[in-house]
Amino acid sequence: MNLKTTYLGLKLRTPLVVSASPLSESIDNIKRMEDAGASAVVLFSLFEEQIRDERYELHWHTTHGANSHPEALSYCPEPQELLVGPEAYLQHIVNAKKAVTIPIIASLNGSTLGG
């Protein structure tokens, strides 16, 4: 039986597309979805307000008290360890695409014009 279909311009082997959920936060889960027959995965959603909150919190934690002690900078993580918001999401997309052969679809939610 031929179940091929087109979704968002993507040619899929079946109409089974896993919708956005926390399950897609794990690369192992995405592999399991592919093994179970999914023809595409929509990743968990990235929200504009989440990015804003993460950046504010990161800024506060890395600057609060940093100038009060000379050795304070020694406990700050390296910049590549500070992936938050879109950087972390983009890295997750890269990792997921490397791990499976099915399409990976991002889910972005903005709350402001231009956001």
| CA–CA separation, 101 and 42 (whole Å) | 14
Tell whether the model's pLDDT for residue 34 goes beyond 60.
yes
Mean pLDDT of 16-23: 94
Mean pLDDT of 7-16: 94
Cα dihedral sign, 4-41-17-39: positive
**CA neighbor of 17 nearest in space, from 40, 1, 49, 34:** 40
Q: What is the pLDDT of residue 76?
A: 57
Q: What is the pLDDT of residue 66?
A: 54
pLDDT digits (tens, 9 = 90+) for 55-76: 656 655 566 655 556 555 555 5
